[in-house]
Amino acid sequence: MGLHVVIVGGGIAGLSTAWYLQQEVAAKGLDITYTVLEEGSRWGGKILTEEVVWGENGRFTIEAGPDAILTQKPWALQLAKQIGLQDALLPTNQLPQQVFVWQKKRPIPMPDGLFLTVPTRLMPFARSPLISPSGKLRMGLDWVIPPRRDAADESLADFVRRRLGKEALDKIAEPMMAGIYNADAEQLSLLATFPRFRELEQKYGSLIRGMLAARRSRKAAGHGRSALTPFVSFTGGMRMLVERLVPMLDGECRLKTGVTAIQPLPDGRYCLMLNTGHALTADVVVLAVPAYVAARLIRPFASEAAHLLDAIRYVSTGTISLAYPIASIKRPLNGFGMVIPRSQNRPINAITCTYLKFNRRAPEGYALFRIFFGGSRHPEMIDLTDIELLTVVQQELALMLGITAEPVLHRIYRWRQGNPQYDVGHLARVDAIEAALPAGLYVTGSPYRGVGVPDCVRQGQETAVRLVQTATQSQLTPLKI
């Protein structure tokens, strides 16, 4: 008898686990089958693209969740190529790649060459009005401040304050983390999110020196400019990744099938209770669901792992996309978007100029903006009614971009308890969770070792490889041939 794997959760992590399990099984000729169970009525989880037809030939492509993948992390791109999406890759527009910071009631460009707070080009940074002269001097002290040598974790905010000073934190790192990563820099684990910063600090004694050296060696190796832009999407939006992948899965894939409970069986297998009233038996279970859902499902028989899973904090965030005729924008932002520091006391976290970031997102003559709200900074925003939210956001757009017209369309998406937070100590917590899980049970996806889509794909692949290795080593799986 072969082995049956049940993957719970049809977001990108669960779907990637299924895909790479399928590849392993085919490559090694194993007798393993799988089922994917998704509670919702569509695949993709946070990946959700809406298309709105506009006029004769136009359309708006609106992202509710991720709008791009980071090309520096290759795993989602590799998956896209494997499933034949190579030709559908959509790079960001080359110009204008500028990102702005809302500062003293006006948008100020981030200096060129700034990599997540750290200047990698000195002249644009020296000339930038964003940081005061004393703030720049303080950032320069990074060259001489002795590096931290121990391996202990710390918050991103503590790290930036320690190396680059408070102004760099307030004006760059904090708004980037809140606006782009939905995270609170004061709680965010450095080691779980930007371990390279610590590596550079320890290797070069200074973050800026380390970044400059890395830039020089990339140039020397001829990798100064990649053929791909740092971020890419797909011509029809992020949903293409899901829509192409799901039909290529040869396991059973069931929508509207939530797992309500899991019971270990005396023979080492698991029985999964489904919200359809049925039950399903599995040799191996992969939980690709939020950590608090995994905790609830395993608590009756794995209380320590459940307790650790519950310690992964979540925040609620949302996005609202609004479209306007371009002519109605009195003070357009000539860039991809703007982040808004906490110190500016505004109710929104960031604005993306979707129509400038990517082609094909808005019909000719129209602008499409996406505004991020909620998170640790403004949790109350999530509970506003649609009308209240729209009023607040329109006031912000009037202030920041001079838009007083009514939007021609808007779409609101709320992700309640949707964003796992990698608080200080996160990696140790994840190690402990994995060690505490009973045999035949795996957790994977955004709550653990990377929230971005590429990291979720990588974790799905790693989980599939690990489970096949364990299963074949314990000789649970007779080879077909």
Ligand X SMILES: Cc1cc2nc3c(=O)[nH]c(=O)nc-3n(C[C@H](O)[C@H](O)[C@H](O)COP(=O)(O)OP(=O)(O)OC[C@H]3O[C@@H](n4cnc5c(N)ncnc54)[C@H](O)[C@@H]3O)c2cc1C
Among 4, 6, 7, 9, binds ligand X (CB under 6 A): 9
Specify the stretch interacting with ligand X by CB under 6 A; choose among 34-42, 332-340, 344-352, 380-388.
34-42
What's the first-to-final CA gap in the chain, in angstroms? 13
User: Rounded CA gap, 79 and 19, in Å?
Assistant: 9
Q: How many residues bind ligand X (CB under 6 A)?
A: 35
Is residue 12 within the footprint of ligand X (CB under 6 A)?
yes
Residue 354 C-beta: closest distance to ligand X, Å: 11
User: Rounded CA gap, 207 and 163, in Å?
Assistant: 8
Burial annotation 344-372 (CB, 10 A radius, 16+ → b, else e): eebbbbbbbbbbbbbeebbbeebbbbbbb
Is residue 37 within the footprint of ligand X (CB under 6 A)?
yes
Is residue 10 within the footprint of ligand X (CB under 6 A)?
yes
Residue 46 C-beta: closest distance to ligand X, Å: 4
Burial annotation 309-330 (CB, 10 A radius, 16+ → b, else e): beebbbbbbbbbbbbbeeebbe
Residue 148 C-beta: closest distance to ligand X, Å: 29
Instruction: Locate 274 and state its tokens.
Output: 């489904």
Among 13, 118, 308, 384, binds ligand X (CB under 6 A): 13
Is residue 374 within the footprint of ligand X (CB under 6 A)?
no
Residue 129 C-beta: closest distance to ligand X, Å: 28
Residue 31 C-beta: closest distance to ligand X, Å: 25
| Ramachandran region, residue 455 (left: φ > 0; alpha: ψ -120 to 50; beta: rest) | alpha
- Closer residue to ligand X, CB minimum distance, 61 or 446: 446
Q: Could you say which residues in the range 64-83 bind ligand X, by CB under 6 A?
A: 65-69
Among 289, 315, 340, 412, binds ligand X (CB under 6 A): 289
Backbone angles phi, psi at 309, to 5 degrees: -65, -40
Among 46, 198, 426, 449, binds ligand X (CB under 6 A): 46
Site map (CB under 6 A) of ligand X, residues 237-276, x = contact: ---------------------xx-----------------
Among 107, 236, 418, 440, binds ligand X (CB under 6 A): 418
Among 3, 18, 156, 293, binds ligand X (CB under 6 A): 293
User: Rounded CA gap, 334 and 95, in Å?
Assistant: 9
Is residue 378 within the footprint of ligand X (CB under 6 A)?
no
User: Rounded CA gap, 347 and 260, in Å?
Assistant: 37
Is residue 11 within the footprint of ligand X (CB under 6 A)?
yes
CA torsion sign for 475, 476, 477, 479 is positive
- Closer residue to ligand X, CB minimum distance, 131 or 298: 298
- Closer residue to ligand X, CB minimum distance, 347 or 452: 452
- Closer residue to ligand X, CB minimum distance, 9 or 109: 9
Site map (CB under 6 A) of ligand X, residues 308-327, x = contact: ---------x-x--------
- Closer residue to ligand X, CB minimum distance, 49 or 319: 319
Where on the chain is the footprint of ligand X (CB under 6 A)? 8-14, 37-40, 45-47, 65-69, 258-259, 288-289, 293, 317, 319, 415, 418-419, 445-446, 451-453, 456
